[in-house]
Chains A and B, each alone.
Chain A
Amino acid sequence: MRIAIFGSMDVPPQEGLEVLHYDIHNYTLDGQYDQIIVANALPELHRNQVIPFLENAYNALVNRGELILYVPSAEWAAKQIFTNTADNITYYMLYGEEAKPFRACYTMLALRTLVERVPFVVRSASENILKISTPEGETVKMPVHAITAVRND
């Protein structure tokens, strides 16, 4: 099984599992993958780069291969702002960090619409918690949208 990962996520090693890490701003997907995981990296792309990226992912997957997306929840962040309870994680979800600024924020509806346009078949679209490490080494929990979609020729 061959997995491509964009963003800072890892998969425990297993026999027969090949895991390849890529930078979402500078990548070449070679060959076919069974799974592509994009963890908290899609917001780094400008809006006009998102569909081309998803199309590249689609073309690089085997038939029935999976795209797994984790993206900060715009709805959750917006509620924090609206209720004056925003904290560091809220601002990170909206704007990213200095080294990796976010160019867009996604509601589930916006994200799912983009994915289905490519045209992936969405198999699940749920809320999840992603544990991320801050530059200070602290682990924080971030509400994310988690979408699993498949290439289905």
Chain B
Amino acid sequence: MTSTSSKPIVDIGIACNINQSYLWWKDVMTMLLQEVRYGDAEIGMLRTVGSALPDHNKNNIVGNSVKRLSLTDYNRTEITKGFLDGKADYIFWMDDDTAPPNNVISRLLKSGRDFIGGVYFLPSPPHHPIAYRRDPETGLYAPVFGYSDAALIQIDSIGFGCTLVHRSVYEKIRDNHTVFVRTNGSLAAIHNSRIQKPIVTRHAKKEKPYIRAGIYHEQYTQQEAGDTRQFPYYQLEYGRTEDHYFCELAESVGIKPWLDTSIVCTHYKMKGAGHDDYKQEEMKAEGLI
């Protein structure tokens, strides 16, 4: 279901937290008010982890709020479920320590891209942007570095601290993948083109995963109808953050994220870190200072 409003409806998703600065509130509330008054989007539900709103406001949370102690991948997946069950066209993800600039949602919408984010930086040196390109040889991600201000570029992975996603991205991922249960009980989404039949729901004899001739083998069973866990759009695993997992799912259905470097957030931790800190590191790397 999508909106019938002339403006697209955008839910706000806030799924992770560690440190929340009081400075964050001013920036975020100003951004949201600007968007409501002057923007090209209708703000829909605010879907948050509990910690993103102070306790006395919890009763006022609109949308689904999830427990703050849950891991970020679980929080994101639950928020995604609420978004997909609702009527919004897009979800704008931010963290409760990233403060996007005014009109961010309208500017991201204007690009016409279904999966696009702004820049926010690692709070500590080298202050690189939380946006990545993948080395095709090793599969490892390296941060985007040395880009032009105001670039609009396609990348391989992006953090979800300032990122807009159209619901069609989630739907396309869901429709093109089947969910399996691994031997450790966790879920894995496998692209339908990579599944060879027969699909099983139970193995007669349980075997541990093994490697033969350089290929990893593991027993997977299809997720049963009674298993109420959500589609695993986000997974914290292999020492990686959950955004890489989502970006790889999206890439498998032909959608890669875009990065608009004209949109710059502040990443609040103990102190704000932003574009100036990144530029210092970039200039150092290039021998300019």
- Identify the A interface with B (CB < 8 A): 73, 75, 79, 82-83, 107-109, 111-113, 121-127, 145, 150, 152
Contacts and interface: CB of A to CB of B under 8 A. Distances in A.
A109 B149 contact: yes
Interface residues of B, number: 17
A121 B288 contact: no
Interface string B237-259: 00000000000000000000010
B144 to A, nearest CB: 11
Nearest to B153: A126
B69 interface: no
A145 B148 contact: yes
B151 interface: yes
A125 B258 CA distance: 10
Interface in B166-186: none
B150 A108 contact: yes
B110 interface: yes
Contact of B148 (A75, A123, A150): A75
Interface of B: 110-113, 147-154, 258, 262, 286-288
B148 A122 contact: no
A150 B113 CA distance: 13
Contacts of B258: 124
A145 B153 CA distance: 11
30 contacts: A75-B148, A79-B286, A79-B288, A82-B288, A83-B287, A107-B149, A107-B150, A108-B148, A109-B148, A109-B150, A109-B262, A112-B150, A112-B152, A113-B150, A121-B111, A121-B112, A122-B152, A123-B112, A123-B113, A123-B152, A124-B152, A124-B153, A124-B258, A125-B148, A125-B150, A125-B153, A126-B153, A127-B151, A150-B112, A152-B112
A144 to B, nearest CB: 11
Contacts of B110: 121
